[in-house]
Chain A
C-alpha cells in the first residue's frame, strides 16, 4: 500500500523523508480544518489596508498624523500574517494562504497611493512601449524614454493580451499583470524552498524573508519589466527543481520549463543574467562536490586532479547544467537578433558605479552620505536607525544561518550556492557609499535576498523551536516570547527595508515635489502633456526635464529627447543664456519644442537630477536653478511661447530654427 504524504503538523513535516516513510496509514490523521489562523489574521491585515488608505487620504490633504497611520497600517497588514506564516504548528495550507494574502495586501500599498493611473518613473517607460505596440501593431518600435525597452517586450505583450481579452484600461491592466507575476513569484519561491528543504516551515520562512526585501513593497510592484521577470525567474527555478525529483515526464517537463525560460529572456536582461549566474554557480559548486575527497588522506588538490565518474548522488542530480546551457543559448540568440542595445545600456549603467567604487577604495573621493536624498535632505533619525537596524539584523543573523548550512546541509550543492548568494548581501552594503552604487545595491537586493531568505530560514527552528509546543503551558509561554522576539526582528527588518528601498517622501501621496518621480506627476504636468497631443499632434521632438519627459512620452505621445536617444537636455536649460551653440544643438537634434517647468526653480530635485545624471550643478551649488535661467527663452528673438498654464510653458522654436536653417 502506498503511503500518503500529509503534514498534519509542522513537526511531522520536519521529519526526514525516511522517517516520514515509516508512518503507517493509521497514523494519517483524518481530514480536518487546516485553515488555522488565516481568516482572523486576514481580517486584521485588511484593517491595516484600510488604515493605509486613510493615511493616503490624509497625506493628499496635507493633514497631520499621516506617518503614524501609514506605519501602523503597514505593520498591521504585514506583521501578524508574517509571524504566523513561520510559526510552529501552522498547517501547510494555512501558510500558503497567508503568503498569498500577504502578497495581495502588500501589493495594495502602492495601488492605494496612486490608484488613478500609472505614475512611477519606470512605469512611464513601459507604458510608452505598450502604447507603441498597440498603435503600430509591431514590436521593437523605438522608445524615446528608454531605448532598450522595446528589445524586451514580454511585459507589454502580457499587458496587451490582458487589455485585449478584458477591455481594461492600461491603469487597471498593469496592476493585474504585475499582481499575477508577484503571486507566481511568491508561490514559486515557497515551492522551491519546500522542494529544497523538505520543510514547509523553512519554505514559508524563506518566502517571508524574501518578501521583506527593501524593494518588494514599492519598486517591484510597479509596471516594469523586472516585476514580471522576477516571477518568471522564480518559476523557472521551482520547475527545474521539481522536475529533478524524478516523477516528472522527461520531455513534457522540459517543454514546460522552456516556455517560461524563453519568456524570461524576452522580458528582462538583468534578471535573466542573474538567474544564469546563479545556475552557473550551482553547477560549479556541484562539480566541486563531485571531486570531494572520499578518503581523508586525499587533499583537495589530489581530488581535483582525479578523473571521477559522474556521481549518482541524488543531491547532485538536480544540478542545472542543461538548463544553464539552454538559457545561455537563448540569451545569445536574443542578443544577436533583437537585444543588441542591451550591452551598451548595461555598461552605461554599471560603468559609473565601478568608477565610483574604485575612486572610493583609492580614497579619491569622500563616501556618499547615507540616508541623504538627492536634494541634500537628511532623513529623520528614527528612519536612519531603522534602516541601519534592518541591515544589521540581517547581517547579524547570517552567521547563524551559515552555521546551519554547514551543520545540516553541507552535502547539498544548492545550499552552498544559496549561501554564497546570501554573502552577496553584506558585500553589497558597501555600494551604498557611492551614488550610483547605491542604485545597484538596491537592485541587487531583489536577487541576493533569494540567498538571504534561504539561509536565514534555516535558523527558524533554532530561534523559535517547534518543540516548545510539546512542553505544556511553560512551553507555550516560552513559544509566545519567541514569537514576540521574531515579530520585533521582522518589524525592524521589514520597515527598515521599506525606508531603504524607497524614498520615504515617495511612499505617500502629496503635493508636487521638484524632481520627485511620482510626486512630480500632478494635474498641471499632465494637462500640459495632454495639450501637446491635442493641439500639436503626436511625434514632435521635445526637450524637457526628467519628469515631464515621461509625461510627454505617454500622455502627450511626443518624442522627448534625452542623452539616451538624441541629446542631453541639461545643456539647454542649465545655463543663464541661450546661445548659438544651444541653437545648433537643437537644430542638429531636430528639436522644435521646449517645455519649461518653472517650479524647478523652487527647490532642489529629490532624486538628485533635474534633467539627467551628470548634469552641471546650478551655481551657487546647493541652490535650485535660478528662475531667470528658465525664463530666458522669453527673451530669445523668434521663440514663441505658445502655451502657458502658470507653472509650465511651452516654446516653439520653429521660426528660429527655420530662419537660420
Chain B
C-alpha cells in the first residue's frame, strides 16, 4: 500500500472514531449529526469491509461506491438483529456504535494486512474510471477537475432543487386545510363525578366560545345532535362564558358532576360567540360503574 493511501485510511479511522462519538453521545446537534452520521451508517462500513474482503484493484470506482453503499445498508438492516439478543436491546445509538466498531475493525485489518507492503512515494499512478492497472512506467494525467462552466451549471441545478424542496415544505406546512375546533370531555374520577373538559382552536382566526355543562339523570329526549337541552332530570352544572382562543391555543378545565349515579350523562355544549344558538360542538360522558 502506498504511504498516501495508508495515511488516507488512518484519516478515515479518525473520522469513524469521531463520527461514532458524535452519534453515540448526540453531540453537536443536527448539523454535525448529519455530517458525521450519514457517512458512518451509509458508506464507511461497507467501504471498509469491501476493502478487507475484496482487496484487489480489479474493482472500479463506481463498483466500489455501489458496494460501499449497498453493503453499508445491508449491515444497517442487520444491526438490530445483532443487538436484539444483547443486553440493552435495540437502540439507534447502539447501532451507531456497532457500525462504527465494524468499520474500525475492518480498517484495522486493512492497515495491519498491508503494513509490510508500504510503497514509498513517487510511484503513484492515478487511474481514471474504467481503467485497470498498467505497467509501472505508464502514467496518465490525473482526472480533470470540473470546469467553471460545469461547476456553475451544477451549482445552478442544485440551487433549483433546493428551491423546489423549500417551496414544497413551505407550501405544505402553511396549507392548514379547513379550520376546525376540537372539543372533548373525559371522566377523570368517575366515582366523584370529576370530568376534564377541553377546547382547542384550529381555526385560522381567533374565536370566542361559550360552554355549558349540564347533567341529566334520566332518559334523554334526543341524542347529542339535538339543539335542545336534555329532557331528563338534571340541569346546568357549570358555564364558561367568552372563552377566547387564538389559533392553536388550547383551553382546559375541570368540573364536578354532582351525584354521578349509574346512567348519569354529563353533556357539554360549545357555542361560538358569533352563532350563540347553534350547538357548534357537543360531547358527552355517561357514568357507569367502573367507567373512565
Contacts and interface: CB of A to CB of B under 8 A. Distances in A.
A659 B262 CA distance: 9
Contact of A180 (B23, B69, B134, B283): B69
B157 A46 contact: yes
Given A30-B141, A531-B184, A634-B225, A655 B286 contact: yes
Contacts of B34: 166-168
Contacts of B291: 640, 652, 654-655, 658
Contacts of B29: 167
A502 interface: no
A649 to B, nearest CB: 8
26 contacts: A31-B128, A50-B163, A53-B168, A61-B175, A92-B130, A105-B161, A112-B164, A116-B172, A134-B92, A161-B76, A165-B96, A165-B99, A168-B34, A177-B73, A231-B70, A231-B73, A235-B66, A249-B55, A252-B52, A252-B54, A263-B74, A524-B178, A535-B184, A535-B198, A645-B183, A655-B287
A583 B65 CA distance: 59
B26 interface: yes
Interface string A135-166: 01111000000000000011111101111111
Contact of A643 (B133, B283, B287): B283
A642 B169 contact: no
Interface string B71-97: 101111111110010001111111110
Interface stretch (A1-9, A317-325, A440-448, A608-616): A1-9
A263 B75 CA distance: 7
Contacts of B182: 527-528, 531, 643-645
A43 B128 contact: no
B288 A49 contact: no
B158 to A, nearest CB: 7
B138 interface: yes
Interface string A634-647: 11011111111111
A308 interface: no
A165 B164 contact: no
Interface of A: 1-7, 25, 30-35, 39-40, 42-43, 45-47, 49-50, 52-54, 56-57, 60-61, 92-93, 96, 105, 108, 111-116, 133-134, 136-139, 153-158, 160-168, 176-177, 180-181, 183-184, 187-188, 191, 228, 231-232, 235, 238-239, 242, 247-249, 252-253, 255-256, 259-260, 262-264, 266-267, 509, 511-512, 522-524, 527-528, 531, 535-536, 631, 634-635, 637-647, 652, 654-656, 658-659
A109 B19 CA distance: 31
B79 A646 contact: no
B90 A527 contact: no
A49 B168 CA distance: 11
Contact of A260 (B70, B96, B140): B70
A512 B49 CA distance: 48
Interface in B131-171: 131-135, 138, 140-141, 143-144, 146-147, 149-150, 153-154, 156-161, 163-165, 167-169, 171
A529 B175 CA distance: 19
**Chain A, interface SS category:** helix
Contact of B90 (A160, A168, A638): A160
Interface stretch (B3-11, B37-45, B115-123, B206-214): B37-45
Interface residues of B, number: 113
B288 A659 contact: yes
B180 interface: yes
B172 A164 contact: no
A524 B178 CA distance: 8
A191 B63 contact: yes
The 7 closest A-B pairs by CB, nearest first: A164-B92, A165-B37, A655-B288, A137-B89, A157-B80, A166-B37, A252-B53
Nearest to B226: A634
Contacts of A166: 23, 30, 33-34, 37-38, 41
Given A115-B165, A161-B99, A31 B80 contact: no
A6 to B, nearest CB: 5
A645 B223 CA distance: 17
Contact of A659 (B70, B164, B289): B289
B224 interface: yes
Contact of A162 (B26, B76, B202, B225): B76
Contact of A658 (B149, B175, B290): B290
B147 A33 contact: yes
B256 interface: no
Contacts of B158: 46
A187 to B, nearest CB: 4
Contacts, number: 367
Nearest to B59: A242
B53 A256 contact: yes
B37 A162 contact: yes
A273 B164 CA distance: 39
A193 to B, nearest CB: 13
B70 A641 contact: no
A191 B93 contact: no
Q: Tell which of B55, B88, B135, B167 has the most Cβ of chain A within 10 Å.
A: B167
Given A112-B164, A138-B90, A232-B74, A4 B288 contact: no
Given A49-B161, A157-B80, A523-B202, A181 B73 contact: yes
A646 B52 CA distance: 62
A512 B176 CA distance: 12
Contacts of A231: 70, 73
B186 A535 contact: yes
B104 interface: no
Given A42-B157, A164-B95, 5 more contacts: A35-B150, A50-B167, A191-B66, A249-B55, A640-B284
Given A5-B132, A659-B262, A642 B185 contact: yes
Nearest to A138: B89
Contacts of B128: 6, 31, 34
Contacts of A155: 77
B173 interface: yes
Nearest to B81: A266
Contact of B71 (A134, A139, A259, A522): A259
A509 B160 contact: no
B69 A183 contact: yes
Contact of B96 (A3, A115, A164): A164
Nearest to B39: A165
Contact of A139 (B81, B95, B144): B81
